[in-house]
Amino acid sequence: MSSMHGFPLEGFTFGKVVIIGAGHVGAQCAARMLEANDATQIVLVDVDEARALAQASDLDDLGFGLGSAPIVRAGTYDDVADAHIVVNTAGRTRRPGETRYDLLDGTIKIMESICGAIEEVGFNGIFVTISNPVDAVTDYVKRRLNLPRERCFGTGTALDTSRLARLIARRLNVSRREVQAMCLGAHGEEIFVPASHTFVGGVPLERYLQMNPEARESFSLAEIVAENEAKGANIITGKGSTEFGISGVVSNIVSTIIGDIRRMMTLTVELEGEYGVEGLPCGVPCILGQAGIELVMELELTARERELLDEAMASIATSVEHEREIAG
């Protein structure tokens, strides 16, 4: 099979997606992929083999009802060897009152086992991780599996970006489709919003508010950002986990890769000089296609936005340094 846009497809089963972790998030990711109908195979791998089998059987029923083409089954790490995409959902569960950084030690311990199993079978596809803290986990997997940054990244601030655009649209009473906005930095508590790159119907946000005095009086981007930052914790307090929103993000990522859509998404990727940062991961806008991340977009930031990025990078650096100490 010939390569596409530099992606080495030889030895791969095109469209085969392996989901590591068959809990709530892993199962929801599989369900969204069945609805999207892009993957050729969806394989669930879990240390609890009975759960993986049960989830796969239940999801197979969903696929039949939807008329979806993908085969859904339980598998083993042997399935990773020829996977096009691996989606990692495994990690320590976040408890009410905890931040994502509180999960680091437990999640890295889990990732050591997962990466060890992957090393045994070999892998050269695209690895996407959800597990928190996503920046440190992405760094660990990239280094441990020796993957290039375009094929090892995290969901980053993609969910935050989706939430932000929806909140802005609701406050301004416009269609979600008319809002272009993004969150950068670290997923959750350390996001920041570059207001200079926020648009409503193609018009800069500040200009839009000038044209709409009534909306300007009640609109507060700071309040929206604070609500956005707190949303994940609020969901966990209420139901114990988040699952639906992030599964939608993962499905979009998989569809974008398989369909070579070249969509812009804010993903966690190691920076190689962009924004003056070298060797640290961060949630930044990227162009995603069949080869993985095809472009890391370096935005022009205002002085204040640059300060916010520096604050986010300082937090990420602390998390990554701790992760590297744990990993040795």
Catalytic residues: 187
| 3-class DSSP string for the chain | CCCECCECCCCCCCCEEEEECCCHHHHHHHHHHHHHCCCCEEEEECCCHHHHHHHHHHHHHHHHHHCCCCEEEECCHHHHHHCCEEEECCCCCCCCCCCHHHHHHHHHHHHHHHHHHHHHHCCCCEEEECCCCHHHHHHHHHHHHCCCHHHEEECCCHHHHHHHHHHHHHHHCCCHHHEECCCEEECCCEEECCHHHCEECCEEHHHHHHHCHHHHHHCCHHHHHHHHHHHHHHHHHHHCCCCHHHHHHHHHHHHHHHHCCCEEEEEEEEEECHHHCEEEEEEEEEEEECCEEEEECCCCCCHHHHHHHHHHHHHHHHHHHHHHHHHC
* 142 neighbors 270 (Cβ within 8 angstroms): yes
Counting Cα atoms < 13 Å in the Cβ hemisphere of 54 gives: 7
Q: Are 290 and 7 in contact (CB under 8 A)?
A: yes
In angstroms, the Cα distances linking 271 to 227, 277, 282, 306 are 28, 6, 7, 15
Q: Using an 8 Å Cβ cutoff, are 6 and 290 in contact? A: no
Q: How far apart are CA 55 and CA 223, in angstroms?
A: 39
